[in-house]
Amino acid sequence: MRALKYHGGADLKTITDESLDALAAGMVNLERHINNVQGVYGLPCVVSINRFDTDTPAELELLRSRVNDLGVEVVLASHWAAGGKGAVDLARTVVALCEQPSSMSYVYEDDATLWEKVTAIATRVYGASEVTADAKIRGQIRDLEAQGYGHFPVCVAKTQYSFSTDPTLRGAPKDHSLNVREVRLAAGAEFIVMVCGDIMTMPGLPKVPSSERIDLVDGQVVGLF
């Protein structure tokens, strides 16, 4: 609920205060996510709210009304306070949705070019109007295709705070530009990473990962620390 109010313009200092106006404005972010799951991927979905004590009845009712209008169920979850018991209703709803017949669709075709793939993600999922990249990046993409990696799927790495690459653009921005500043080949995992905007990616495993020191000895786990 706090995240939706943030996308509606609420200040972080007062994010726990009731604000129906901010919630109503921020709902566009959630509605785009719902549209992506249902309209782009062709899958049923449920909206789960990680309910906190600061979520007011009026805010919950507003959210439930807006989401229900889209034909989607809202399930409140309190696992942060009640553990697994607090997520039982959500689990049952998810199981029921999984049992429904559905026909999943993809954002792009496998035989599309790498540029076509990232463009499809940008325009269909993020609401962008275009994808940009300098000559060096475009050349790297062409080289990857020439080396036989063009059939790999594309993974986009960008800020988690916005549908755009600008973390300050809240809500559901449209017609923005997605700039690809770096291209990485994950040959083992078999996908191409398009790094967009200012984002720090997680480091990979070291040559000798910590997992190699973990073992089970006489029923006791050793090597964790």
Tell me the three-class secondary structure of 24-92, residue by residue.
Answer: HHHHHHHHHHHHHHHHHCCCCCEEEEECCCCCCHHHHHHHHHHHHCCCCEEEEECHHHHHHHHHHHHHH
Residues contacting residue 82 through CB under 8 Å, at least 6 positions apart: none
Give the model confidence (pLDDT) of 108-141 as tens digits: 999 999 999 999 999 999 999 999 999 999 999 9
Domains recognised in the chain with CATH numbers = 2-98 (no CATH), 114-196 (3.10.410.10)
Tens digit of pLDDT at every position of the chain (225 positions): 999 999 999 999 999 999 999 999 999 999 999 999 999 999 999 999 999 999 999 999 999 999 999 999 999 999 988 999 999 999 999 999 999 998 999 999 999 999 999 999 999 999 999 999 999 999 999 999 999 999 999 999 999 999 999 999 999 999 999 999 999 999 999 999 999 999 988 777 777 888 888 999 999 999 987
Q: pTM to 2 decimals?
A: 0.85
Q: Could you give the residue ranges of the DSSP H alpha helices within 135-198?
A: 135-146
133 three-state secondary structure? coil
